Structure 1
Amino acid sequence: MPGPEVTAFLNALNETEHLAPERMLAYQRRLLARLLPHAARETGFYRDRLSPVLRNDGTFDWERWNEIPILMRSDLQDSFDQLVARNLPKSAGGVNEDVSSGSTGSAVRHLNADLQNFATACCNERFFAWHGIDPGALYARIRITDHPDAVWPNGRRLEGWRIAYDRSVAIDLSTMATMDQQIEWLERIRPRYLMTYPSILRTIASEMAGRQKPLRFDAVLSFGEMLTEDARRTIEDGLGVHPLDRYGTGEVGHISAVCPQHLKHHISSELVLVEIVDEQGQEVPAGTEGRVIVTPFYSLAMPLIRYDIGDYAVLSGEPCSCGRSLPVFERILGRSRNVFRSADGRRIWPAILSSEIGRHLPNRQFQIVQLDFDHVEIRYVPMPGEQTSNVAGLTAYVRERLQSEVKLSVQPVDAIERSAGGKYEDFKSMLD
């Protein structure tokens, strides 16, 4: 049974997900009213930075919120010591230091207090409950881990890994296992649930094509990488279930999770304030693409106030028909380094289908890299045996999707290079 603190937090989340927008805003401001004075008092970085909002009499000028400068990843790299809180309230608990995955191209050190990790774990429990995930079933998790026991052929068994269930069981396997080893392991342990990165789910789903006895799961859960629409369709076709996706970062924690009735993400507004802004830092209307700016309310050890996480997204202007009042991401577009750019400054999100790549260039995995404004390279792991490629057809397809007469080169490789954090990126731009 979960402890009283977990039960209380989960009960609160069950109520707050239905709050009217004005009540949610008041709820968020109460949390900000604790975070902002703490940051100004306990860090050198925020001592004067929050002055637009913090009045001398202890009240808050919320109308000037957007005058607080946006915090960049480079600030975390350059001003780590100044961002660390000198003292913490007792409720924050202990502190752990970690390094973010660096999927935007620049890894950063960060601190998380126990309270922040606790809040994220509780939001994960809400996500599991939304989707009817059985806490007593076996979970397989293929993820980045350097634990010596999490290796093929057995993996590492964990009990009580879910905060609300002491008897929950998961088995971890390191991503260092080959794809053939991962599939053999899954066939052997037969978990009801599989949790891993979208790129791995997609590859497993592709490998199931044509098998007489393909792998089947009650649900597959994705995290840690951007789940593209193309990957979603491949996973659904190959594994027979919708991938249940979550969105967050190591330094921020949980941000959003996919709705149980629809495929769009609900923002966990109880944990984080999300803003979408343009390149000048001005708020954009719903339905407009912009930079994702977040303020996690429980980031007491290292306050992250108006933090640019390096992603682009679009907010929905309509409430979700599921009945929850939590805001909705219309689309989560991806990292800034995953967007291509044209010579005239336009951003291009590559809407390139893996099925079309495979039709012209049979592969086990691929990555499309923008080397220059007019040069794109496809790196791919060839299928076993001799295969027929149609580079001319592939070039025509890529040019049509990018709406540009780019030069296309193809490069066979033994393996697709991972990012600094050990994750895969389908699309990567080498332009600054």
Structure 2
Amino acid sequence: MIEAARRKAYGLALRTRRIADREYHFLEEHQWDSRDRILDIQKERLVRLLCHAYKKVPYYRSIFENTGLWKAGDVDLTRFNQLPLMSKAIIRKNFEALKSYDLSARRWFYNRTGGTTTGEPFTFISDYEDGWRSGGAVLRWMNGWHLIRPGDRELKLWGLPLDLYDGSFSLRSRFSNWASGVTFLNAWRMSEESMRRYIHILNKTRPRLLRGYVTNLYELALFAESNGLAVHSPTIICSSGGTLYPHIRRKLETIFCCKVFNHYGSREQHNVAAECSHFDGLHISAFTHYVEVIDENGVSCPEGIEGEIVVTSMTNYAMPLLRYRTGDRGSLTEELCKCGRGMSLLKKITGRSMECFRTRDGRIIPGEFFVYLFGVALDTGIFSKLQILQKDFDRVLVRAVPGVRDKPEAALEDEIRCKIRVVMGESCAVDFSYEQDIESLPSGKFLFTRCEMETGGSSLLDGSK
């Protein structure tokens, strides 16, 4: 009876958020439209955003005129790919000019991210409507492809900074999590003891959806297997925050006895693409995002050719980020999925790589911890690029490309050491190396975190486990 009341209350709460509910029903209605009709809707929404950007965002006015995107009082979409690419460095340099003139009339907030792919922490602005539409509504829609409904039990293996630094969830947050059916497990505290407890919670709550960072889901599966632990089989697993390699998918499906679906998004862009049950690729949310794949010269890649993924979110009017460089790599296909949905597909996604660190007492520290640390908790803007290396159980090296100054103050270095030792242990030595640039791998991937010990995180990449 309590469970039924909880689900009903949550369903009613969703419907009161009218913008998100309206967007959700729009997505449900139009996902089965023809490819041409979906592209028309996408163009309409993109033009609307571009008109807003020209009229109300100072940064874009001269750029639109110089590229010919704005001509005779209207948008010429054929010139869209002539716009310069947006990057974190440009956002930092032109932050005030990228704000919309009507910001005071919007409900907005500062959003901080660590840049998992490029290693560049930065701050930008989002409005709440952006989160409701490309965040909540799109996620609800994508979950529905697998018959996951609002209020269904979900176990979320996610980064929880509150548990490390700020105490615990507020009463309001705890009530919201209860009403929505979501139970959070801290992906930043992956010791043997915590993983045993997480599996107990999984078996007790019996969620329909298990969602988490790919590295943590994989480590949890390996732990259950090596310890002979029985685990509840959810309806689906949703993996995000890294590359879902074939050997990881196979392991997760073997241990949890359910299908695993890849999900692509980011803090900057929310929910960009996801797999359906036909696994023909990741359906792009074409109603909320415009996705390009470009080569090293900025030219669109032919179908099936890998390049850098560039995304324009069409729902953030507070600070439009047009042609935003994700740093991820992938390829597009013009093929239609067998499910019948008309959206374009990302055939594959590569280039997002983070390795886990390990402590001497067996705890596993996911790369996402360092994304949060440098992108949110210590968002100073002083670093333009970062890479965190584990040299030994008790030694971490922070490679950094300085931003506005040659190097940070000693007090900031001490604060970084203190926060890293919260998870790595008090005996961990944290050294700093300030460099002009940090190289990517030959494949083009950038490892934000890298474990250089023989027992490190490379197994995620090579499938040795």
TM-score of the two chains, using structure 2 as the length reference = 0.68
Match among 162, 185, 195 for residue 211 of structure 2 = 195
More contact order relative to length (CA 8 Å, sep ≥ 6): 2
Matched, 1:112 2:126: yes
Q: Paired residue for 1:87?
A: 102
Matched, 1:172 2:184: yes
Match among 301, 322, 329 for residue 284 of structure 1 = 301
1:105 is matched by which residue type in structure 2?
A: G
The 3 A distance-change label for structure 1 pair 210 and 102 is closer
CA distance in 2, matches of 1:320, 1:46: 36
**Quick check: which one's helix share is greater?**
2
Spell out the pairing of 1:264-413 with structure 2 (5 A cutoff).
264-335=281-352, 411-412=453-454
* Gaps in structure 1 of 5+ consecutive residues: 339-353, 355-362, 368-376, 382-401, 403-408, 418-423, 428-432
Spell out the pairing of 1:47-196 with structure 2 (5 A cutoff).
47-51=61-65, 52-88=67-103, 93-103=106-116, 104-119=118-133, 120-148=135-163, 158-161=174-177, 167-189=179-201, 190-191=204-205, 192=207, 193-196=209-212
CA distance in 2, matches of 1:303, 1:256: 19
CA distance in 2, matches of 1:153, 1:20: 47
Once the two structures are TM-superposed, the CA of residue 229 in structure 1 deviates from its matched residue by 2.2
SS of the equivalent of 1:238 reads helix
1:74 is matched by which residue type in structure 2?
A: A
Once the two structures are TM-superposed, the CA of residue 210 in structure 1 deviates from its matched residue by 4.9
CA distance in 2, matches of 1:130, 1:28: 21
Q: Paired residue for 2:30?
A: 16
Q: Paired residue for 2:220?
A: 204
The 3 A distance-change label for structure 1 pair 58 and 416 is same
Once the two structures are TM-superposed, the CA of residue 198 in structure 1 deviates from its matched residue by 0.4
Q: Paired residue for 2:421?
A: none
Determine if contact 1:155/1:172 at 8 Å carries over to the other structure: no
Deviates more, 1:187-196 or 1:295-304: 187-196
Once the two structures are TM-superposed, the CA of residue 140 in structure 1 deviates from its matched residue by 2.1
- For 1:293-331, what per-residue CA distance to the aligned partner results, in whole angstroms no more than 9, with x for missing partners? 111111211111111111110112311011111111110
TM-score of the two chains, using structure 1 as the length reference = 0.73
Matched, 1:38 2:47: no
Determine if contact 2:192/2:363 at 8 Å carries over to the other structure: no
Determine if contact 1:154/1:185 at 8 Å carries over to the other structure: no
The 3 A distance-change label for structure 1 pair 8 and 184 is same
The 3 A distance-change label for structure 1 pair 153 and 366 is closer
- For 1:176-197, what per-residue CA distance to the aligned partner results, in whole angstroms no more than 9, with x for missing partners? 3233233233233323132210
SS of the equivalent of 1:321 reads coil
Q: Paired residue for 2:437?
A: none
Aligned residues: CA RMSD: 3.7
CA distance in 2, matches of 1:188, 1:153: 21
Identity %, equivalent residues: 23
Determine if contact 2:50/2:75 at 8 Å carries over to the other structure: no
Q: Paired residue for 2:416?
A: none
CA distance in 1, matches of 2:40, 2:335: 21
CA distance in 2, matches of 1:425, 1:97: 33
Once the two structures are TM-superposed, the CA of residue 251 in structure 1 deviates from its matched residue by 1.2
The 3 A distance-change label for structure 1 pair 144 and 426 is farther
Once the two structures are TM-superposed, the CA of residue 5 in structure 1 deviates from its matched residue by 3.6
Determine if contact 2:289/2:314 at 8 Å carries over to the other structure: yes
The 3 A distance-change label for structure 1 pair 56 and 317 is closer
Determine if contact 1:101/1:250 at 8 Å carries over to the other structure: no
